[in-house]
């Protein structure tokens, strides 16, 4: 298992994947998902959930990876649910500590962005102006640290 997923995520983003796809697919070696499934699952979360500029797609991907590694399936274990929600809040808090928010529209404040469903062309100018690659890297770094400090049962086998 590779413990530095930020470069892989940045590479996927630079190849044209959305922010959520870049982070989520970078962790396929950890989650056990095949890349195509990961890309499909994360495709809805780019641009703050379908370009609605809500929760940053890189954060959503971070939460999805955490769910696969540490999540719960029980319907009646409130302690397990609370522990997982606390974990997600901790991960979100670390991202928020870096950027002040986890909301796409606030992360991109000052840039000309819309909620138009048509994605922008990924040009050289796009990559120079958009800070999203930093968010992709940060979410991956936070997740790598968390996994290193809290090895999931799934990886101990």
The pLDDT score that the predictor gives to residue 155 is 63
Domain membership of residue 30 (yes or no) is: yes
Q: pLDDT of 61-109, one tens digit each?
A: 999 999 999 999 999 999 999 999 999 999 999 999 999 999 999 999 9
Is 81 within a domain?
A: yes
Whether 156 is covered by a domain: the verdict is: no
Helix (H, G, I), strand (E, B) or coil at 89: helix
Q: Domain for residue 120, yes or no?
A: yes
List phi, psi (to 5°) of 103. Answer: -90, 125
Residue 71 CB neighbours (<10 A): 16
Cα–Cα distance for residue pair 92/61, rounded to 1 Å: 11
Range of the domain at 110: 6-151
Expressed in angstroms, the distance from the first to the final Cα of the chain is: 13
Backbone angles phi, psi at 59, to 5 degrees: -70, -45
- Per-residue model confidence as pLDDT tens digits over 101-153: 999 999 999 888 888 888 888 888 888 888 999 999 999 999 999 999 999 98
Query: For the chain, what is the domain count?
Result: 1
Q: What is the pLDDT of residue 157?
A: 44
């Amino acid at each position: 298992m590779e413990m530095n997923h930020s470069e892989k995520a940045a590479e996927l983003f630079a190849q044209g994947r959305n922010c959520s796809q870049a982070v989520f697919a970078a962790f396929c070696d950890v989650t056990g998902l095949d890349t195509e499934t990961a890309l499909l699952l994360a495709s809805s979360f780019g641009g703050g959930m379908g370009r609605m500029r809500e929760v940053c797609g890189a954060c959503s991907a971070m939460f999805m990876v955490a769910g696969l590694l540490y999540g719960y399936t029980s319907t009646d274990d409130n302690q397990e649910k609370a522990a997982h929600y606390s974990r997600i809040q901790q991960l979100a808090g670390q991202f928020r500590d870096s950027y002040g928010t986890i909301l796409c529209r606030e992360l991109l404040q000052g840039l000309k962005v819309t909620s138009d469903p048509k994605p922008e062309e990924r040009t050289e100018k796009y990559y120079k102006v958009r800070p999203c690659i930093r968010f992709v890297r940060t979410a991956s770094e936070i997740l790598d640290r968390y996994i290193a400090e809290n090895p999931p049962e799934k990886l101990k086998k």
